[in-house]
A and B are shown apart, each in its own frame.
Chain A
């Protein structure tokens, strides 16, 4: 290749000096993509390329998950570089191209990725100004930049003219100054999403549309609905003759991993459905009816998350005390389009295209699966549908890799709806016991939260089926009682948070789902706080104001209350015996960063048990908000999704396995019950940017639960607030 290029370059340019330079540039340009990453994060070239037409490409290590992060990160880069948004673009994630910024989860894109992109852009700008200074013969301090045009001493030069398509070859200096926030023109502004036009006009290539030459279509064959994590799915027998009538389709198998491949997609679907397989049917699960009792009785690994003062002393003799147990269900990611992936596995290399939140993490897991060095595997990201956490994207990537290896050809694997719903890494169920007390002045004096839940699974289903032992995802704060959502916003002298960790192998597969466990925590914790306000005879908003630990918590509380035009009164003060009653509630909560406050206005039909959110208000303080429009959009999505999860969503399973397999057996909120939403962004340009994609759901869940109490005078102990549960809590259908 090198020889050929040298010859062509020579013919084209004809001068020795030029050849040398041009050859190096061309090699550099072509090299991007040919070598296994991650590229060196200390090199400006890893992050940025300036093109001859005075535009820039920014190489970002975060996946666009439909939340606008790719546009927001470009805003940060454009701001530092003094480029227009029309002059800047990014590329898809690729382990041979993009830097490793870690996975796109825990609201990390702007929180963690923002500073990295800002630093890289500032380093590039510094390098460009050095070149401009020489070119214009003007000191750097006297240069100004607008839209990539550097001016000084009455003359100007563009970035494109300075480095156009050539590498910077600059290592980070660590001294590049970043722009003061007071000079921001692009950050903090509502730019439209750059992916929207393509997405509404069928121009966007979702993962589900990716095709490669010579590929087969694959489907996995599994029991409908996962069994206990750790039990896998054991094949008793497979009757390969059962699909003989479907020409071109064949079964492939490795251990208990079973699939079909065919040239034609419909043949693959039919073959997967018609293949006769006898599975073992274990009865090892508690079933969702007996789930929480089972969890409470199970032997757990206990730890104290946080303790100060003496809770027992604080509780004894307090004017008002609350003690309650609350239950939360398993929730499914259930991405709207089931996950899909394409793989081409060869003897010594593999190319895998999938919708992972972490291309480098997936590359490592595929390396273990294939026993092939990671550098031989290339993983490329294509956006699928909104995943909101660890849906089946890793599992589908592993499954298609196995199918391709077994079939000896490139394979595209589209999970069916029941594969995605039934074999998800569910957001774990939860049991929370709260005890809290207030003194006669409406001051919280003691608070204790004991939480039971299991963590996340580390072994994908596909790996498990070929015999890889199941293991748990390494433990971490995020899988246990959350010190922010569980009382962290209040100034409480005596506090204790206890975590009761259950083994993941005794239950369903667990994984991170948008705002992991926080809806359950807030449902329990904020109802207890609300009940203290009620017992104290104080308006719940005012009660929270009195106990606030932090001005930023107070900021979101006030923002949500003001948006809802909250007027002070005690909760459940207007109880009525009408069929349809209304209530309002307020709540606080977050995930790991940022601050969320919410107000809910709901309607409860006491005859049918149907609860509908009429209006939800959500406020987020996420520090410096790069694009307030995106955060408003995220608040809207979180409020609607919270209504869905609080009223509708619950993974059902019996003693053998999961029975929630589609939108009929796992209903979600529809248009007819969609609330009006009001999103409030509390902008703090002087504060570090923190997450905004999952930080108001806990508050909204709490506000909904508290609104139910306001409407009915009854505290719900378990969600979702389905008609059956509501009627039972209200004492059956109202007597006619």
Chain B
């Protein structure tokens, strides 16, 4: 089976019903998507499939054939393509904002947090606090970093609009 991940085509050996997460972690050896619950409850395994945040732990690999999968690793290039930038930045503005706000504690949930907030900002460039809370509500954090994640999303929103972050 062929799948397209981070703008590259990969041949995978997994059985078609294998959740995408295990293919990304074990065959492609990516370190963005990660196992959290296997039940689509927490968001740690999130990837973008054709730009839509998707829980890879419950999505069979066969379902993404012919689609474009973006993981945390491919996010800067995905952003560059969206913004028609000549060159991909080292980090997506949301990633940079998470550093600037020192939002991370253990960081395990941040794959999903960054994927989801990238999706949000691609659709809603200047979200209100209420829109951020609603969009992010399906993503859990055990360390209690929500307040700084919300600040970081707002900071990234300003940066993406070309303003001073």
Contacts and interface: CB of A to CB of B under 8 A. Distances in A.
Interface of A: 65-68, 192-193, 195-197, 199-206, 208-209, 211, 264-266, 269, 334-338, 383-386, 388, 414, 416-417, 629, 633, 636-641, 644, 662-664, 668-672, 674-677
A417 B144 contact: no
Interface residues of B, number: 53
B3 interface: no
A671 B137 contact: yes
A640 B44 contact: no
B36 A66 contact: no
B122 interface: no
Contacts of A211: 26, 29
B31 A672 contact: no
B36 to A, nearest CB: 6
B22 A196 contact: no
B159 interface: no
Given A202-B73, A663-B140, A671-B136, A196 B98 contact: yes
A676 B147 contact: yes
Given A336-B140, A637-B145, A206 B19 contact: no
Contacts of B95: 200-201
Nearest to A634: B105
Interface string B94-119: 01001100101111111100100000
A386 B31 contact: no
Interface of B: 14-15, 18-19, 22, 25-26, 29-32, 34-39, 41-42, 44, 71-73, 91, 95, 98-99, 102, 104-111, 114, 132-134, 136-137, 139-148, 150
Main secondary structure of the interface of B (DSSP, over half): loop
B111 to A, nearest CB: 7
A417 B105 contact: no
Contact of B133 (A67, A638, A672): A672
B134 A672 contact: yes
Q: What 7 A-B pairs come out closest when comparing CB atoms? A: A66-B106, A640-B144, A199-B107, A385-B108, A386-B106, A637-B144, A202-B32
A385 B145 CA distance: 13
Contacts of B105: 66-68, 386, 633, 637
B99 A192 contact: yes
A204 B102 contact: no
Contacts of A664: 39, 41
Contacts of B110: 199-200
Contact of B41 (A201, A640, A662, A669): A662
B41 A677 contact: no
A208 B35 contact: yes
B41 A416 contact: no
Most buried by B among A193, A202, A638, A662: A202
B144 A66 contact: no
Given A66-B107, A209-B31, A337 B36 contact: yes
Given A202-B31, A209-B34, A414-B35, 12 more contacts: A265-B25, A336-B141, A386-B105, A633-B148, A636-B144, A662-B37, A662-B41, A663-B39, A669-B144, A671-B136, A674-B146, A674-B147
Contacts of A629: 102
A507 B94 CA distance: 45
A309 to B, nearest CB: 40
Contacts of A384: 106, 108
Given A637-B105, A662-B37, A386 B26 contact: no
7 contacts: A195-B104, A200-B114, A211-B29, A335-B108, A386-B105, A633-B105, A637-B145
Contact of B142 (A205, A336, A671): A336
Nearest to A337: B108
Nearest to B142: A336
Given A201-B95, A265-B26, A636 B107 contact: no
A417 B38 contact: yes
Contacts of B35: 208, 337-338, 414
Contact of B132 (A66, A671, A675): A671
A674 B133 contact: yes
Contact of B34 (A208, A266, A674): A208
A65 B106 contact: yes
B133 A671 contact: yes
A200 B142 contact: no
Contact of A636 (B38, B137, B147): B147
A515 B57 CA distance: 33
Given A208-B35, A636-B147, A636-B148, A670 B137 contact: yes
B146 A417 contact: no
A674 B143 CA distance: 12
Contacts of A200: 91, 95, 98-99, 104, 107, 110, 114
Contacts of B72: 201-202
A171 to B, nearest CB: 37
B150 A663 contact: no
A323 B165 CA distance: 54
Contacts of B106: 65-66, 336, 383-386
B68 to A, nearest CB: 18
Contacts of A663: 37, 39, 41-42, 140
A386 B140 contact: no
Nearest to A417: B37
A202 B30 CA distance: 8
B10 to A, nearest CB: 16
A266 B15 contact: yes
A730 B73 CA distance: 51
Contacts of A336: 36, 42, 44, 106, 108-109, 140-143
A672 B91 contact: no
Contacts of A269: 38
A11 B71 CA distance: 49
A388 B143 CA distance: 9
Nearest to B15: A266
A18 B102 CA distance: 48
